[in-house]
Structure 1
Amino acid sequence: MPLRDALPRLSRPLVRALVKGEPGPPFPRSRRLRPRLPLFLGLLPFRTVDLVLVADLVLAWILFAGGYSLLLTLNGMPPQPGVPTPGINENVLFLCALVSSLPVALRNRWPLAAWRLATGGMLLAAHFMDRLFTQPYSSSGVITYLLVVYSVAVRCDRETVLGAWLVSMLALVAVKPGDPLIALGAVMLTVTALLGYNVRTRRLAAGRLAEEERRSERALAAQAVLEERTRIARELHDVVAHHMSVIAIQAEATPLKAAGDPGTLEEGLREIRALSLAAMTEMRRVLGVLRDGDERADTAPQPGLGRLEELIATARSAGLTVTLRLGGDLLGLPTTVSLSAYRIVQEALSNAMRHAPGAAVSVRITRSGDELRVHVANGAGGGRERPPGNAGHGLLGMRERVSMIGGRLWAGPVGKGFAVTAILPIMEDAEDGA
């Protein structure tokens, strides 16, 4: 690596630590560390108390009082033979004690500023401490410096922490070169910086994990909403597609069939009214489920194979020639299987009404072991072939219903007509209301 490229890269951590670095936002604390104030203290400008900040303020005062008292005691001791009297001004001692303790009170909100102040204060106090004591370090200054280094490591990025560690090591050597305690101080600084940075890494990882969990919960909630919307849309389509198709065909055929006969016209209108009321009843049930998340409004029984004759009669009234063949024991089927079979037949008949009016339709439902086979086939209907690829949403709804219970579905043109075949597994623990 060229020297001109290496110098900026090496100096960048120092510049960030001393000038340009900015601490990250504080990590959220537990509510136990930020309790709410009692009601009788409600006139204060703050509603909660930060116990960590209170502890820092108390510790800063203890370090200041103890350090200042020690400096005054050492400065007032009688001179020893051959040792000059220190004669240091008390204001200077006050300043030394202050810069050795104040950073503790600042480290929570301004960790980098507190570390810079502590570094300058250590270099300033070392000159006078060396005149009063055998070492240029005081216990309060060591505690303060380790605490601010920890705060920097917890709140700042890796490059800034590295720069703060390098400056701290240089300051440690500059205070008293050749001091045997430098090695101990270097170990303490390194351990403190590594501990703080490890805490930062763990907290960031925990924060990312919590965010991923929140995203996963939102995604699951959105998926549940989408699935519910799909279910409601499928139910509405089954109701509207079938009943509206029959109503439209009846409304078109009734005047032609009546041919001016008021009795026949009145009978046709009664059938249209009955179909409209049935459609409105089912739509109210589906919309009631949509409004009520607990499905308390869904009091009407779900349609099933027990209403198959009614469905066939409706299709016949719309002009289809429907033949029904049943095989096997169809009693006691699970609600999901019975409803799915009913909806498949309903949609197949609706498609026949729309695309092959007047056609002959064969409906065959048989049970074999743990499977229910549904087969619906229709002819061309009036000589008009069904337009290819015009399945709309009906076949999609069929496939969704069948796939939800693990079944299989085939649908497609057969000759000039169309056929639908579904095989539904009979599972006693199938969920109701599919």
Structure 2
Amino acid sequence: MKEKEEVQPPTPRSGAPERTSGARAQELLRSFGTALATPAGPGEPLLARASSRWLRWLPYGVALALVAALLPVTVTVLVHEYHVNGAVAGALATAQTVPLLLAVTRPLQAWWVIMVADVLGGFVLLGSEYHELPWPWTPMVVVGYLFLMLALGLRESRRALVGVWLVTGAAGAVFELVSPGRPGDGVIVLLFVLSGIVLLVTATLRGRGEAERRLVEQETISEAERARRTLLEERARIARELHDVVAHHMSVITVQADSAPYRIPDLPDAAREEFASIASGARESLAEMRRLLAVLRSEGTEGERAPQPGLDRLQQLVEATVRAGVPAELSLAADLGEVPQAVDLSAYRIVQEALSNVVRHAPGAETRVSVRGDGEGWLNVLVVNGPTAERTSPLEGGSGTGHGLVGMRERVRLTGGSLDTGPLPDGGFRVAARLPLTNP
């Protein structure tokens, strides 16, 4: 049976304002920032883990646009401004721009190709007579190189990034030694500084994304461990409570076996020995159960030695809830007959946890408790509360004797019943349990 009912979302009013384009733009910017801070794995394209398909295709679009813009401009500038041979200019422009497409998935390999092409281009331009033009890096080289630094910063390790930056500075230093004091070579310092800034910013974003990812993973693991610990604690508590139920039956068996020779006249000796063996086995089982209970019982639980409650104490429980400020009423069928002790205890605990949740999460809400048989061997337990006017915390956990809905599920599973819990359309909450009145 489902654990929670689906609640239809409220229909928006006709006059409710729709999201503006500014809000959509802000949401898109936040998604883009999250995608930048999320590191891509080896072989994955940049922004491959973005939630939006548009963002996942963005690196390809930017790389393609850069190649389409830089390739013809580089050829034109090299031929007309630097007077480089057309074939050489075409080869250099292709080697300096086309590998930008590879940078989306393999930025380090793309950097090796582009770096070699840029260095060769610098030596080609060394013979140019137009010393007032930027050298050895043309403006197109600077633009493409910065995009490449962005891709590297979002993918490669810090050691690789430092190596790339130092190689960039070393290449510029070599050109400075080859042609010292050449006008227009301030672009060497410019590229070195800008590439360092881009690498630093992108590496910082990547480090932040990795830290957030590890934090989310740790929180997920911690939440799973908390849920597992809660489940184990509740099972141990149920086992301690059921000790009294089982111990009662074992005590009855012991007494009946011990008293059988006195109650039954002319009992054969073989039967007397059999009853004595049954009584001895029952006493040994009781001793083993006491040792098991000592293992399950934690410190400070001596109060649990008191007799376990049942349906006969529901009226007192409801009256205590009313005194706590919750208008509750009880409907308890009088013709339930003999209820198994495990079901009797589980039904009481389910009502107790449900009322505890009402007190905590819906103070002042009208509550109805119904316990009755269906005539087919099942006990139906229903606790329904109405909405509360006060703002409350989400329902889970409970502040009663167990762990809220977790304890209810475990008790129902133990007895072979079923549980249906969930919110109601009017803002209330329902807990419906179905427990067998016959032993499985």
TM-score, normalising length from structure 2?
0.49
Higher RCO structure, 1 or 2 (CA under 8 Å, sep 6+): 2
Larger radius of gyration: 1
